[in-house]
Chains A and B, each alone.
Chain A
Amino acid sequence: MQKKLVSVLALSVAMSAFLAACGNNENNNTASPSASESSSPSPSPSASESAPASESASPEKVENFTVSLRHIQIGDAQKFRKAILDDVVKKTEAEVPGLKIELDPVEDSVNRFTKLPAEMAAGNPPKIFSVFGGAGDTQKYAKAGRMLDLTPIIDELGLKDKFLNVLEPFSVDGKVYGLPIGGNTEGIFYNTELFAKYNLNPPTTWDDLIKAADTLKQNNITPFAVGSKGAWVPNMLVNTLIGRIAGEGANAGFITGDTKWNSPDVVAAYQLFADWEKAGYFTKGELGKEYADMLNDFVAGKAGMMFDGSWRSSAFKNDAIGAAVAGKVAFVNLPAVPNGKGDQTSVNANYGEGYGFSADLNENEKKAVKAFIKNMYSDEMQLRGLLEDGVLPSMKLTDASQVTDPIVKQVLDVLNGAGASFPHFDSIVTSKVYTETETQLQKLIAGKATPQEVGDAIQKVQDAENAAAAK
């Protein structure tokens, strides 16, 4: 009996020693080939499988490692962008010996508002991840020391002067922490077939827009498809309305205090939105509809227009999700609003979405990141993004004359014809203020708050955030 007790104790000691060894494993970096299988920085089944194979292939000792890559290119509507990403990944893997990039696809808003913030809080973000610029995203994470300073890398790769003037939302104190993949503008997509059917002019002037909306409404067609379950979708229109009515500089003024959310101009923008809501211009039951439903309604011809980002243009190709309306869709800027302030040809232009990198990288992973940046931010991929996916380049392109897609051409025309541009406020205000705009907008849609109450509530949060920033 006593022997048994001793052996149990011995076993438990052995177990704890074993567990402790497991914990230390991370620090033992690949001393021997056999160790490399268990101690790669982010262990994965695929890494250990590929380990012996490549070892036998090359006489040099190659360390196998994996790098996690979080991307948001999921679903049919994103397939062109996913193809570009796949090619970049393949190229990068070929260039860096032993590298295996592990893709981790997550839906856009889940990644942006739920998963990445939680990972950032825990300090274990993926090594490469999709991230947005601005105070609520990149700048917040960079200030907390979670993101890799890319300044030396883009200097080394000679990319610094190749980017358009778009790195500001990704920079803190002159250091660059993320790189935008491309840009977009938000405007009106309309169904030319439906417009022709009801003898409507393209919605290029305010009167034509209102007439189109009213006529469609009378014919039981939703004027504007929208899916407001995620309030960022209707927020696109609100953002541009604020830019039109309060002037193109208004959005940037929220954090400086120059613009107030409850100022008459901004409230007027919310009022206009509420009026449209009352007039029944938007999809019925929009608060229960997802972003994808909005495209579906538009493609099915249930709605004549939708206010969406130019990234949607690739959905209307013959082999894409919106093939049913391919060739029957056009894109225009939101027309000049009567009595609006500022330049009424101004457009909303965002270079918000891009890639960022974890600050916690070892030498090998840094090599992989460098190769990824080199391959992703190249002339070739930027041009492919524009031609295949309708994403506006974030870098200076030597030749953009090959664009044949009619909608992409219209998007480029809108941008070229713009007198000024303004960013989306989601890349300017902090995340607390931005989420308040979402909460309040849904209340406005549900008829639970007036435009003035919406403005007051958001300004209250903005004041608190501005005061905290001034500290």
Chain B
Amino acid sequence: MRTTLKNPYVYFIFVVPTIALYFLFFIYPMLTSVYYGFTNWNGLDTKDYIGFDNFANAFKDEDFRNSILNNLYILLFSCCVQVPLIVVFSLLISGVKRFQGFYKTTVFMPSILSTSVIGILWGYIYDPDVGLINNILKTFGMDPIYFLADTKWALVSILITNAWQWMGFYIVLILAAILAIPRDIDEAAMIDGATGVQRAWYLTVPLIKPIINVVIMLSIAGALRVVDIVLVMTDGGPAGATDVMASYMVNKAIKFGDYGYGTALSIIIFIFALILTALYQILIVRRQEKVEY
């Protein structure tokens, strides 16, 4: 055995099956789909190489540009509205003395539900005839709002639902970081006469910055790949108002049978996500020093 394990080829044999499977299920499909992106394949007939036509068309395609914008709205919403809210909620929950476990569980609950369940649930909440919100509006004598059918409201409605689903997950992440801060730092500040708000802003937030960065990065990645909630709630409608890049790609490729174009779109999405996360990494995260307690 000792001599066998000294032979490097033995290790190679152990790794070969995994590498083979990895090639079969990851590398090969990725390479073929890159190739499909340069063809006009409709899923049935022969594939003709058409160069960069698909990519050029994608940027000329007004509906696709609109879906990129929607992705950016979602990104901005999650970074500028969701993340501050997450931090505030985490600080509040961390300060609670009683029933902290209850709050933690409650906010975390939506993240364990499947997106389809959440989409349908909120579909009922938004329903113009029987929905909760519109019934409340009705009692104040207001006209119903067609949340998911009105181009002005649909994206906002989805953003709120999406935030409701994922905030709890991030709150638990940040809460863990807050609770890991040694108590004596906080107590020292308290003795020095710092108020609760001051302690939160000048002590806790700087100390949990690394984890906030992680949350922002996960939010960016999440905002770029969000699709399931859109497909369940509106399928990109009304009239493309909630189409995101991925839902547009799914509809183009699968529903409209334009596999070549759809694959090209998926490559664009991939590059887009890669650039954004890389930028964030380089510009923000690398500059940060490590926090030492």
Q: What is A's interface to B at a CB cutoff of 8 Å?
A: 1-2, 4-5, 12, 113-114, 117-118, 120-121, 140-141, 143-144, 146, 229, 284-289, 431-432, 435, 439, 442-443, 445-446, 448
Contacts and interface: CB of A to CB of B under 8 A. Distances in A.
Contacts of B45: 143-144
Contact of A287 (B43, B63, B144, B237): B237
Nearest to B259: A121
B210 interface: no
Interface residues of B, number: 28
A120 B240 contact: no
A141 B258 CA distance: 14
Interface in B1-34: 1, 4, 17
29 contacts: A5-B1, A5-B4, A114-B254, A118-B43, A120-B44, A121-B43, A121-B44, A121-B257, A140-B44, A143-B44, A229-B235, A285-B144, A285-B146, A286-B149, A287-B150, A287-B239, A288-B146, A288-B237, A289-B149, A431-B256, A432-B256, A432-B257, A439-B240, A442-B237, A442-B240, A443-B240, A446-B241, A448-B151, A448-B239
Contacts of B234: 288
Q: Which of B4, B239, B254, B258 has the most CB of A within 10 A?
A: B239
Interface of B: 1, 4, 17, 43-45, 63, 128, 144, 146-151, 234-235, 237-241, 254-259
A431 B44 CA distance: 13
A442 B43 contact: no
A442 B150 CA distance: 12
Q: Which of A114, A286, A435, A446 has the most CB of B within 10 A?
A: A446
B151 A113 contact: no
B137 to A, nearest CB: 14
Nearest to B126: A288
B217 to A, nearest CB: 33
A432 B259 CA distance: 12
Given A284-B146, A288-B128, A445 B239 contact: yes
A285 B149 contact: yes
A461 to B, nearest CB: 11
Contacts of B241: 446
Contacts of A284: 128, 146
Given A229-B237, A446-B151, A144 B63 contact: no
Nearest to A121: B43
Contacts of A432: 256-258
Contact of A446 (B1, B128, B239, B254): B239
Given A117-B255, A289-B149, A432-B256, 20 more contacts: A1-B1, A5-B1, A114-B255, A117-B254, A121-B259, A143-B44, A144-B44, A229-B237, A284-B146, A285-B144, A285-B146, A285-B149, A287-B149, A287-B238, A288-B234, A288-B238, A435-B256, A439-B63, A442-B239, A445-B238
